[in-house]
Structure 1
Amino acid sequence: MDSLSVNEAAGFPAAAEPAPRRILYVTSEAVPFCKTGGLADVAGSLPQALAAAGNQVAVILPLYQKVKDAFGDKLEFMKYIYVRLAWRSLYCGLFRMEKDGVTWYFVDNEQYFKRPELYGYYDDGERFAYFCRAVVELLPHLDFWPQVIHCNDWQSALVPVYLKDDGVREEGLQGIRTVITVHNIEYQGRYGKETLGDLFGLNAGWLRDGTLEMDGDINLIKGAMLCADAVTAVSPTYAQELKFAYFAHGLESIVSNCSDKLYGVLNGLDMERYNPEEDRTIAATYSAEDLSGKARDKSELQRLLGLREEADTPVIGMVSRLVSHKGLDLVQQSFQALMELPVQMVLVGKGDYKYEEFFRWAQQHYPGRMCAYIGYNEAMSMNVYAGADLFLMPSRSEPCGLSQMIAMRYGTVPIVRETGGLKDTVQPYEAWRDSGNGFTFANYDGADMLSVISQAVELYRGDREAFRRLQLRGMTGDYSWRRSAEEYRRIYDKILG
């Protein structure tokens, strides 16, 4: 008999369910509507998990052209208003749709959002300042008045600032609590001081008191961190790393000042989307109980990419943006020594030219053992997750990382550097007590990386049963958004009092 039924049997009232919270989630991208990075995955999953827990949840994001093209016939027009941004008065349309228990709102302004890409324009500061002002001014027109507004990254960082600014004059805004999640502190929203009034519509006091000023510029993430009631990072380790200059990109003092309201919440994974038992994008499905399909996926991966079809040779996979903080310089330094091991290697990704050229060179010099797929292809990425035996992520920094969780879900054992979310999700293999779900190294060093790769290869070739148990521990881990949603709910409850 569980604790609730014991209480009821004894005549005590059942424990009350926590009251639902009204949450408005503000984001610049979300799956399935639009995506450039990991923020879209978070925004496409966390709100549904919060709603599934009984909360009233809405998401608001810009109505980009690609969203209108793909979902326009499903959107309901609600109304339009005019938004004030400094000296401008700008049209703002509001559209909505219901999906997966969540209300999705879309802010329409073709001047700012009828463009082929989400970001990368000369006026991005103005575009997202408009979006933040629109969020605040649309609050009376939404289906509910939020208790918590949860913002993400620099694109929505002005929402907590505008709420403070407007709250001096509008009492109704004072009861709203705000959260800012930092997905990658490298992107801060920095602009010249001269933009404060003309672009953002704020008075000089926001600079004089230091809220927005940082190293001679306006820094939007700094302002959001100081104004918000809670600051979250996307993993517990990353939250602690941000207190150090090596990781904080100049904001370590601000992070330390916010330490009493700083939380690290590990991102989750869409367990239904990433499920090797149901995934029709891979050659053969399989489960933790029956891994035979994974062997067929490996053979198909080798065939597709021109690798030698050797069932007993471990395949090391990488799916990554080809940028420096992903640890690719370690791969470059150690590559020839790596190829002396009895392994094959597959990489899927695109990015900096120097890395693309290196991996093209590697493929030419090691035909049949190395394949570089330069570009991003979702189906090919899933083939790697399913078909590889080992998955390499030697990142210099990694706020959370999803790839290591996807790899484990598909029985592909991760080899990671102990940083950010990689440290929080991958526990090192310990042979003496047969524990862990992957291999890890701490120092940012090519020799250390090569050493743990050698250990992984040795286990794969020398003790297949121990390797299988390692796979199973990864496949049966709980990476769900339910766990993350529970942690965010505790944060919301704390700031609401």
Structure 2
Amino acid sequence: MRNIVFMASEAAPLAKTGGLADVTGSLPKALTQLGYHITVILPLYRRELAKTDYRPTPTSMRIEMWADGRKWLCPIHEIDIAGLRYLLVEQDALFDRDGLYGPAGGAYADNLLRFLLFDRVALEVAARLGPDIDIIHCHDWQTGLVPVLLRTQYLHLKPIARAKTVFTIHNLAYQGIFSPDWLHRLGLPSHHFHPEGFEFHGQINCMKAGIMEADAITTVSPSYAQEIMTPEYGCQLEGFLANHAGRLRGIVNGIDTRHWDPAHDEHIAAPFRVGDVAGKKICKQQLQRQCGLDQEADTPLLTLISRLAEQKGIDLMLANIERWIEQGYQLAILGSGDPALEQALHEFSNRYPQRMYFWQGFNESLARRMYAGGDIFLMPSRFEPCGLGQLMAMRYGNVPVVRATGGLKDTVIDYFADKRHATGVHFREASAEALDAAVTVAVALYRRPAVWRRIRNNALRRDSSWQASARHYDALYRALTHDD
């Protein structure tokens, strides 16, 4: 049995701000089914835990660590969730705060101290877990320094000294950039502070550290792996990534297909599955009724569930709403974010209450009913490393219209690229006109029942499980450890 340690700043269901937590909470479970022994190490966020029903118990491990001129005592806590072991690093002065990374809309000034201390303690903990560790899998900038520390200051810890490291980039836009003043305050290995190391325009760049030193680099879709080596998506690291392209690959994320299953979802009006989709019509009727939309079975119902931000292409949709309503379509939208976008959506829904519905915020029960009741799912993102919404939509037979970028391009098969196996419709240009053209195509297909049935069934059949992703990680781990 191979021993893997995941090190991350968040993991569902214990602490979550985004897709990173979904990966670190779900991928390890799928890997255990392939015979791996997995331990997940993350900080103990007391205020986040208070929002859950989980209560970790103290272990006998208590790690003392010097950082920034003082000694920090870090007791280690443990919790088992569905057979997966989580170890939590306690240090309330650093982690018992509002927000994982900062107050709303901001970042804590001492984030490098917080997560470097976590990285060091996590390595100490990993070395005490028993059998030698085969793989240490790190995630995003918060653990980007782990591979560097392991190869410099922690080589004396024999249980982890031979471990291979994997560094996963979930979103390159967040790189963990800090003042060089922290180099000596935190005892970072300064001989790596140069342009080919983790120096970035005179600053410390934690993302670069992980890219530089990890044995393998992954990101969350094959297309995103290629895109981040271009100026448009590279966030000024495209050249650096290109230099390390031989260790870079993309592996698409998954979803918990037992948790997201229209055949057994208690939140929706009626169950349905491939070969028996009668329940989907009932779900659409219920969604129209709940949203106050006209009860029209044959009207195309467009749905969008998203953070409301420019990155998500919400402005492209806004530019088309009036036209789509004039065309006779209906819209149901759920999300929150940019106040100006929220206000615009409220104005449309107030003006056309029988044609458009907007729920500001997040409501999982309503989201499930939108996935189940919608006909066409909109995801016009300007960039999308992987995306989960399109996976959930396909799982519920809600056919996606997506911009051909990142994980959207990799997971949704475009009708014009492969009519027999299509699961949705792509558009390329990030413009309102291109989105409208793609929606027009989707609606035309919707009005051809036999064609639409095939596309919808293809979407329903798609394997979006974490087991599919885990098989790719299994192959990577085996290659790194020369285990055939």
Q: Name 1:4's counterpart in structure 2.
A: none
Alpha-carbon shift at residue 86 of structure 1 (Å): 4.3
- Equivalent positions of 1:136-155 (< 5 A) are 136-155=123-142
Letter paired with 2:477: Y
Greater shift in the superposed pair: 464-473 or 166-175: 166-175
Q: Is the Cα contact below 8 Å between 1:166 and 1:173 reproduced in 2?
A: no
**1:118 and 2:118 are equivalent in the alignment:** no
**1:287 and 2:273 are equivalent in the alignment:** yes
- Equivalent positions of 1:125-204 (< 5 A) are 125-167=112-154, 170=157, 173-198=160-185, 200-204=186-190
* Residue number among 400, 419, 423 corresponding to 1:437 in the alignment: 423
Alpha-carbon shift at residue 169 of structure 1 (Å): 5.2
Alpha-carbon shift at residue 180 of structure 1 (Å): 0.7
CA shift in 2, pair 1:21/1:432, >3 Å: closer
Per the alignment, in what secondary structure is the counterpart of residue 116 of structure 1? Answer: coil
Q: Name 1:96's counterpart in structure 2.
A: 78
Cα deviation digits, residues 272-301 of structure 1 (max 9, x gap): 011001111222221122112111111111
Per the alignment, in what secondary structure is the counterpart of residue 178 of structure 1? Answer: strand
CA shift in 2, pair 1:387/1:87, >3 Å: same
Q: Is the Cα contact below 8 Å between 1:277 and 1:286 reproduced in 2?
A: yes
Alpha-carbon shift at residue 373 of structure 1 (Å): 0.9
CA shift in 2, pair 1:298/1:415, >3 Å: same
Per the alignment, in what secondary structure is the counterpart of residue 316 of structure 1? Answer: strand
**1:34 and 2:15 are equivalent in the alignment:** yes
Alpha-carbon shift at residue 142 of structure 1 (Å): 2.1
Cα deviation digits, residues 183-230 of structure 1 (max 9, x gap): 0000000111112221x3214323246411112211100011101111
Alpha-carbon shift at residue 340 of structure 1 (Å): 2.4
Cα deviation digits, residues 338-387 of structure 1 (max 9, x gap): 32222101110111112111111221222211111111111111111111
Q: Name 1:63's counterpart in structure 2.
A: 44
Distance between the aligned counterparts of 2:469 and 2:419, measured in 1?
29
Per the alignment, in what secondary structure is the counterpart of residue 457 of structure 2? Answer: helix
Q: Is the Cα contact below 8 Å between 1:85 and 1:133 reproduced in 2?
A: no
Alpha-carbon shift at residue 432 of structure 1 (Å): 8.9
Q: Is the Cα contact below 8 Å between 1:188 and 1:220 reproduced in 2?
A: yes
CA shift in 2, pair 1:433/1:326, >3 Å: closer
Letter paired with 2:305: V
Distance between the aligned counterparts of 1:350 and 1:221, measured in 2?
28
* Residue number among 260, 266, 269 corresponding to 2:255 in the alignment: 269
Alpha-carbon shift at residue 318 of structure 1 (Å): 0.4
Distance between the aligned counterparts of 2:89 and 2:48, measured in 1?
11
Letter paired with 2:474: R
**1:495 and 2:477 are equivalent in the alignment:** no
Q: Is the Cα contact below 8 Å between 1:81 and 1:92 reproduced in 2?
A: yes
Q: Name 2:105's counterpart in structure 1.
A: none
Letter paired with 2:121: A
Greater shift in the superposed pair: 117-126 or 436-445: 117-126
- Equivalent positions of 1:370-449 (< 5 A) are 370-430=356-416, 433-449=419-435
Q: Is the Cα contact below 8 Å between 1:341 and 1:454 reproduced in 2?
A: no
Letter paired with 1:485: A
Q: Name 1:453's counterpart in structure 2.
A: 439
**1:24 and 2:11 are equivalent in the alignment:** no
CA shift in 2, pair 1:252/1:433, >3 Å: closer
Distance between the aligned counterparts of 1:31 and 1:73, measured in 2?
14
Q: Is the Cα contact below 8 Å between 1:83 and 1:137 reproduced in 2?
A: no
Distance between the aligned counterparts of 1:451 and 1:220, measured in 2?
41
Q: Name 1:258's counterpart in structure 2.
A: 244
Letter paired with 2:78: R
Percentage of matched positions with identical amino acids: 38
Alpha-carbon shift at residue 157 of structure 1 (Å): 1.2
Distance between the aligned counterparts of 1:496 and 1:469, measured in 2?
42
Per the alignment, in what secondary structure is the counterpart of residue 61 of structure 1? Answer: strand
Q: Is the Cα contact below 8 Å between 2:126 and 2:160 reproduced in 1?
A: no
Per the alignment, in what secondary structure is the counterpart of residue 224 of structure 1? Answer: helix
Greater shift in the superposed pair: 349-358 or 170-179: 170-179
Distance between the aligned counterparts of 1:72 and 1:93, measured in 2?
18
Letter paired with 2:243: N
Q: Is the Cα contact below 8 Å between 1:398 and 1:422 reproduced in 2?
A: yes
For structure 1, the 5+ residue unaligned runs are: 1-19
Cα deviation digits, residues 153-197 of structure 1 (max 9, x gap): 111112112112214555654311111100000000011111222
Letter paired with 1:369: R
Q: Is the Cα contact below 8 Å between 1:87 and 1:201 reproduced in 2?
A: no
CA shift in 2, pair 1:269/1:73, >3 Å: closer
Tell me the number of residue pairs that the alignment of Structure 1 and Structure 2 aligns: 476
Letter paired with 1:290: D
Cα deviation digits, residues 306-340 of structure 1 (max 9, x gap): 11111111110000001111111211333322322
Distance between the aligned counterparts of 1:321 and 1:292, measured in 2?
31
CA shift in 2, pair 1:278/1:432, >3 Å: closer
Q: Is the Cα contact below 8 Å between 2:14 and 2:54 reproduced in 1?
A: no
Alpha-carbon shift at residue 67 of structure 1 (Å): 5.0
Letter paired with 1:54: G
Alpha-carbon shift at residue 475 of structure 1 (Å): 0.4
CA shift in 2, pair 1:113/1:486, >3 Å: same
Distance between the aligned counterparts of 2:425 and 2:182, measured in 1?
48
* Residue number among 465, 469, 472 corresponding to 2:457 in the alignment: 472
Letter paired with 1:163: L
Q: Is the Cα contact below 8 Å between 1:34 and 1:66 reproduced in 2?
A: no
Distance between the aligned counterparts of 2:360 and 2:343, measured in 1?
9
Alpha-carbon shift at residue 431 of structure 1 (Å): 10
| TM-score normalised by the chain length of structure 1 | 0.92
